[in-house]
Structure 1
Amino acid sequence: MDDTLLHRLRVEQARALLDGVDPHHAVMLACDLLVAGVDGEAVVALASESARTLPAHAADRRLAAVIAELGLPEPDLSTAVALIAADTAERILDRSITAEVGTHGLYVVGYEGSQMDDLLPAVTALASRLEDDLGGRADDELRIQLAALARTILNRTPAGDPA
């Protein structure tokens, strides 16, 4: 398995640990694992699910089976937070998630054991402005501030998989 797939798997593993898996991401990851030649029984089972209709709790179970099948150790809490924060920051910067989703996704920095918990006030300020001042719809100024925060998070995350 290449480093990119391993990294994606570790990010989804971290999401399962802290927030729950996104069924679409889990199924697409399993499909990509199959294409890469990782064809264990659990990988095939997850890849055969519908990315649109798979319930989140079932995606969690299926991904846990894939992780067990591949023998990946569970990340510690600090590593899980760093993986999710960095992934969210990357998605904010490449605009694959909206500023609204990204802002709330960065609350992960406040988890106990986080090495980035000092950024929680900045996340809270952006989220408060988004919800209280902007009615839940980001403006250009908020997007600029969010991108700056995302770059700060990426600069504080070790290169590659922080695991």
Structure 2
Amino acid sequence: MDDELLRRLRTEIARALLDDADPHYAVMLACDLLVAGVNGDAVVALAAESARKLPAHDAIRRLAAVADELGLPEPDVPTAVALIAADTCERILDRSIPAEVGTHRLYVVGHEGSPLDDLLPAVTALAAHLEDGLGGRADDDLRTRLAALARTILSRLTAGNPA
């Protein structure tokens, strides 16, 4: 399994740990694992699920089975937060998720045990501006401010100093 696929898998396992797994993404990830030659029973079972109909709690359970099957340990909370925050920031910066979604996903920095909890006020301020000031629709200024926050988070995580 290549590093990128392993990173994606670890990130989804982290989302499952924090009860935020995306069933569609989990199923697609399992399909990518199959294509890469990772074909254990748990991977096959997850890939066989309906990406549109799989309930989130079942996605979480199936991701845990994949992790067990592959011998991947469950990440601790600080690691889970870092994985999810980094993935969210990368998606914000490459615009693969809308700013509205990215803003709310960054609330993960405030999770108990987060090494980035000091950034929660910045996330909260952006979310409040998005919801209260912009009626839930991001404008260019919010996108710019969100991208700057995403770069800050990635810089801290890359420097190995998330706290």
Question: Does the pair score TM above 0.5?
Answer: yes
Shift of 1:49: 1.0
Offset of residue 158 of structure 1: 2.9
TM (normalized to structure 2)?
0.95
Q: 2:49 and 2:19 mapped to 1: Cα distance?
A: 21
Q: Which blocks of at least 5 consecutive residues in structure 2 are unaligned? A: none
Contact 2:19 2:60 in 1 (8 A): no
- Counterpart in 1 of 2:110? 110
User: Aligned residue for 1:151?
Assistant: 151
Stretches of 4+ aligned residues off by more than 6 angstroms: none
Q: Taking structure 1 as reference, are residues 159 and 66 closer, same or farther at Cα in structure 2, changes over 3 Å only?
A: farther
- AA in 2 matched with 1:62: R
Task: Indicate the RMSD between aligned Cα atoms, in angstroms.
Answer: 1.5
Of 75-84 and 151-160, deviating more is 151-160
Structure 1: where are the runs of 5+ without partners?
none
CA distance in 1, matches of 2:79, 2:159: 13
Q: What SS does the aligned partner of 2:158 have?
A: coil
- Say yes or no: does 1:71 pair with 2:71: yes
Deviations 1:90-125 (A, max 9, x none): 111111111111001001001121111111111010
Residue equivalent to 2:123:
123
Counterpart in 1 of 2:31? 31
- CA distance in 1 between counterparts of 2:128 and 2:51 reads 32
* Corresponding residue of 1:86: 86
Distance in 1 (alpha carbons) for counterparts of 2:6 and 2:93: 22
Question: Under a length normalisation based on structure 1, what TM-score does the superposition of the two structures give?
Answer: 0.95
Shift of 1:159: 7.2
Q: Could you list the per-position Cα deviations for residues 25-66 of structure 1 after superposition, in whole angstroms to 9, with x for gaps in the alignment?
A: 101110111111110001001111111111111111111111
Q: What's the counterpart of residue 57 of structure 2?
A: 57
Amino acid aligned to 2:66: V
